[in-house]
């Protein structure tokens, strides 16, 4: 199985901050990497697919980059509605494991 790690596990940030979350795969997954946002009491929502493609309807302040084993999710200017937990997921091979998540909360 491919193992996914994320860093940091949590962070505190202010509205307007630039936030970067890193995801690392235990082996190369090409660009088969998705990012999800999950808020308490809500269902997960895909933000970025195939490492860098922005899902329709997702604000352009979200961006993704990377390939191989190292990936990044960037929020260019954090908004109040962005406080949530963010998960990466590899879909290169089965099982399509999620990372452990990064919780973004208010400083």
Partner 1 sequence: QVQLMQSGAEVKKPGASVKVSCKASGYTFINYGISWVRQAPGQGLEWLAWISTYNGNTNYAPKLQGRVTMTTDTSTGTAYMELRSLRSDDTAVYYCARTPYSSTWYDYWGQGTLVTVSS
Residue numbers of the site for partner 1 (CB under 8 A)? 1, 32, 34, 36, 38, 43-46, 49-50, 55, 85, 87, 89, 91, 94-101
Residue 42 Cβ vs partner 1, minimum distance, rounded to whole Å? 9
CB of 1 to partner 1, least distance (A): 7
Residue 13: exposure state from Cβ atoms within 10 A (0-12, 13-18, ≥19): middle
Task: Using the minimum distance from each CB to partner 1, give the nearer residue, 17 or 24.
Answer: 24
CA distance 71 to 64: 7
Nearer to partner 1, 32 or 71 (CB): 32
Question: Phi/psi class of residue 73: alpha, beta or left (left: φ > 0; alpha: ψ in -120 to 50)?
Answer: beta
Q: What is the DSSP letter of 68?
A: T
Nearest to partner 1 of 38, 61 (CB atom): 38
């Amino acid at each position: 199985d491919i193992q996914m790690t994320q860093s940091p596990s949590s962070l505190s940030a202010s509205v307007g901050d630039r936030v970067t979350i890193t995801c690392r795969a235990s082996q190369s997954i090409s660009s088969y990497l998705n990012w999800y946002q999950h808020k308490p009491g809500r269902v997960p929502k895909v933000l970025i697919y195939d490492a860098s493609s922005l899902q329709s309807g997702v604000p352009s302040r979200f961006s993704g980059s990377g390939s191989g084993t190292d990936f990044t999710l960037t929020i260019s200017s954090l908004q109040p509605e962005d406080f949530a937990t963010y998960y990466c997921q590899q879909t290169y091979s089965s099982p399509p494991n999620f990372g452990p998540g990064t919780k973004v909360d208010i400083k």
